[in-house]
Amino acid sequence: KPGWSFTDVLGIIQKATQIPAAIDTDVNAAALSEAMWGAGQDLANVVYFTIGTGIGGGCTVNGKPLHGLIHPEMGHMRIPHNRQTDPFNGICPFHQDCFEGLASGPAINARWGIPAESLPSDHPAWALEAEYIALALHNIICTHSPQKIILGGGVMQQAHLFPLIRHNVQTLLNNYVLS
């Protein structure tokens, strides 16, 4: 933010409250909150996605938020994009057709010309949305092996999406032969 460069925000908060504090991303905070008090309670390894005006993901590993070289940008993971069935280019200013570029609320609006919350539950948008979400979850299952994936955000207010996503994920996982 303009004028805030090099401001010791954490120090100011700790001094004012006299309690330990930390700064992290909103999605890591959501993942940690879900693991501590919500749908991932008592699980060490949880992934939380918010799917709405953007797509972000947070992850806990052994009960702590995942950090590394950078914050994991799960919303920008690349997922298969079949341009024959979905010629939409995507809206991400960095990758066009990453997960966020294809499946966020603004992507739904740009592709169909209608906000997600105005689409009827039988609209073909939802089958495509469920497919893209399932592909992203498949990537997360294969790379992070979380005990639970929790989905939140405005787009996920569409309850009819959950069975479609589960079906697509199960179909993708059935393609594996474990030995």
What is the tens place of the pLDDT at every residue in 12-38? 999 999 998 888 899 999 999 999 999
- Find the mean pLDDT for residues 140-161: 96
Residue 27 burial (10 A CB sphere; 0-12, 13-18, 19+): buried
pLDDT (tens digit per residue) in 67-98: 988 888 999 999 999 999 999 999 999 999 99
Confidence band (pLDDT; 50, 70, 90) for 179?
A: very low
Q: In angstroms, what CA-CA distances link 10 with 18, 22, 24, 64?
A: 11, 7, 10, 19
For residue 23, what pLDDT is reported? 87
Q: What pLDDT is stored for residue 64 in this prediction?
A: 92
Among 4-13, 145-154, 157-166, name the one with the lowest average pLDDT.
4-13
Q: How confident is the model at residue 2 (pLDDT cuts 50, 70, 90)?
A: confident
User: What is the sign of the dihedral through the CA atoms of 5, 11, 15 and 19?
Assistant: positive
Place of tokens 């740009």: 110
Q: How many beta carbons lie within 10 A of that of residue 20, not counting itself?
A: 6
Residue 71 has a pLDDT of 82
pTM for this one?
0.89
